[in-house]
Amino acid sequence: MADQSLSATLPPLAAAGPVFGLPPLPYGAGDLKPVLSAETLQIHHGKHHARYVETLNHLLSDRPDAPRTLEAVVRAAQADGERGLFNNAAQAWNHAFFWESMRSKTSRPGGLLAGAIASAFGDVDALGRRFIAEGTGHFGSGWVWLVARGDALDVISTHDAGSPIVEEGVTPLLSCDIWEHAYYIDHRQDRAGWLTIWWSMLANWHFADRQYGAALGHGEPWRYPAPRAA
Amino acid sequence: MAFSLPPLPFDRAALEPVLSAESFDYHHGKHHKAYVDKVNGWIEEKGLEGKSLVEVIRLAKDRNDRALANQAGQIWNHDFFWQGLAPEGSTRPSDKLARLIEASFGGQDGLVEKMAEAAVGHFGSGWAWLVLAGDALKVTSLHDGDTPLSLENVKPLLTLDVWEHAYYIDYRNERPRFAKTVLGKVVNWDFVSQNIEQDSIAKADQLVDA
Ligand SMILES: [Fe+2]
Ligand SMILES: [Fe+2]
């Protein structure tokens, strides 16, 4: 299936299926400096993420019966073994979730989540070590996640475009991109350094708190913006 | 006992501007070295004394040891990749290779195009390959740390690394431009020509105590 870095222009879209947008970054491209340069965010969002969304819309363009949420598209593609559609749909979703997982000023987890972290990992620093080790040990491209299964927390990694939303009952709370394109401009080969500074400087605990609330049944989890109807 | 990091078969600046000296400092000096160091840390624990790299890759597969297969495979893949590169204009295909290229791809441009297509179409990390299957050339791609040792009845001839670390310093996200430029300009055609006649898998092999 077409890679996100394909430079050839795709033919114009005559969409019979849903058309998903590229959600804007929830901050300015320079706001996450010095951990992430403006150049990194511009390429990562404007080239990689944009390309996944573009390819996704292409693959859906002749499918008037495609599901009307990206979450459902990802799950259906996984269930049907449609690799190309899954890769692009899941990468579109994962990246939008990743942007939400970062904030220019990190904080600490709130009451409910802090309690769950204490009982599952001891404390936030121990969770951080677990998160960093999971990402550092992951061979190849992928994602590290803090997830809730029901009310229980876990740290997992997924390979390539893999996404925890295909698993019933799992709510992701935070995600860090460990494809090399996520950190190579600013941190070169140093994935451990990237994960360490990401954890201490960028992790968006307000977002994680809200996601954990949703996992417990209070409010809705984050969802990818709805598509334009065909 | 240890595997060694094979030196680059050219000066680190010899392929500029196609591939920068800085990119080799990282790609050879950090990535390739890290794979060697990792496997060396396992020699006693995994009983690799006296083995060759190719034997290690095969036994990792037999033992279903993914971590070892990945790291050892990456040592071999990178060594093979370096040998397939040479300064622009310094090598050319043998008559026999030229005939094979003509028959399978209609010419060298056709081969570059097909192999670049495989490189660009590969999702995620991996390698684009030119292989000899019977008496025909074929292009394929392999994922992550997989090697052509796992392919039946083919002889590896040339590879292109399509992990993002291979091109991000010099080409950023532009994998198509990286693939076309490297394959179009700095392939070591002498190496590819010789591989047709020789045991190419052995070219990136080494003994653990070398
Ligand atoms: Fe990414
Ligand atoms: Fe590499």
Query: Is A155 found in the same domain as A190?
Result: yes
Query: Is A211 found in the same domain as A118?
Result: yes
CATH code for the domain of A50: 1.10.287.990
Read off the pLDDT of each residue in A169-187 and give the average, rounded to a whole number: 98
Query: Is A95 found in the same domain as A118?
Result: no
Interface check A140 vs B, CB under 8 A: yes
> Nearest to residue A4, comparing CAs of A90, A73, A102, A101?
A90
Contact (Cβ atoms closer than 8 angstroms) between residue B173 and residue A43: yes
Position A1 confidence tier, pLDDT thresholds 50, 70, 90: very low
Query: Is A96 found in the same domain as A137?
Result: no
The reply to whether A30 falls in a domain is: no
- Shortest alpha-carbon distance between residue B117 and chain A (Å): 9
Q: What is the number of structural domains in chain A?
A: 2
Q: Report the alpha-carbon distance of residue A221 to residue A93 in Å, rounded.
A: 13
Ligand nearest to the CA of A161: 1
- Shortest alpha-carbon distance between residue B196 and chain A (Å): 30
- From chain B, the residues in CB contact with A87 under 8 A are 123
Position A190 confidence tier, pLDDT thresholds 50, 70, 90: very high
Over its length of 210 residues, how does chain B's per-residue pLDDT go in tens digits? 899 999 999 999 999 999 999 999 999 999 999 999 999 999 999 999 999 999 999 999 999 999 999 999 999 999 999 999 999 999 999 999 999 999 999 999 999 999 999 999 999 999 999 999 999 999 999 999 999 998 999 999 999 999 999 999 999 999 999 999 999 999 999 999 999 999 999 999 999 985
The reply to whether A19 falls in a domain is: no
The predicted structure's pLDDT at residue A228: 87
Whole domain around residue A120: which residue ranges?
Answer: 111-215
Read off the pLDDT of each residue in A92-107 and give the average, rounded to a whole number: 97
Q: What is the DSSP letter of B133?
A: E
Query: Is A131 found in the same domain as A66?
Result: no
CA geometry: angle A4, A5, A7, nearest 5 deg:
115
pLDDT tens-digit readout, B122-141: 999 999 999 999 999 999 99
The predicted structure's pLDDT at residue A6: 44
Query: Is A123 found in the same domain as A91?
Result: no
pLDDT tens-digit readout, A44-87: 999 999 999 999 999 999 999 999 999 999 999 999 999 999 99
CATH code for the domain of A151: 3.55.40.20
Give one DSSP letter per residue of B75-130, joined into a string.
HHHHHHHHHTB--TTS----HHHHHHHHHHHSSHHHHHHHHHHHHHH--SSEEEEE
The reply to whether A49 falls in a domain is: yes
Residue ranges of domains in chain B, CATH in brackets: 21-83 (1.10.287), 95-204 (3.55.40.20)
The reply to whether A106 falls in a domain is: no
- Give the bridge partners for B154, in sequence order: B133
Query: Is A123 found in the same domain as A58?
Result: no
The reply to whether A145 falls in a domain is: yes
Query: Is A119 found in the same domain as A84?
Result: no
**A7: closest chain B residue by CA:** B176
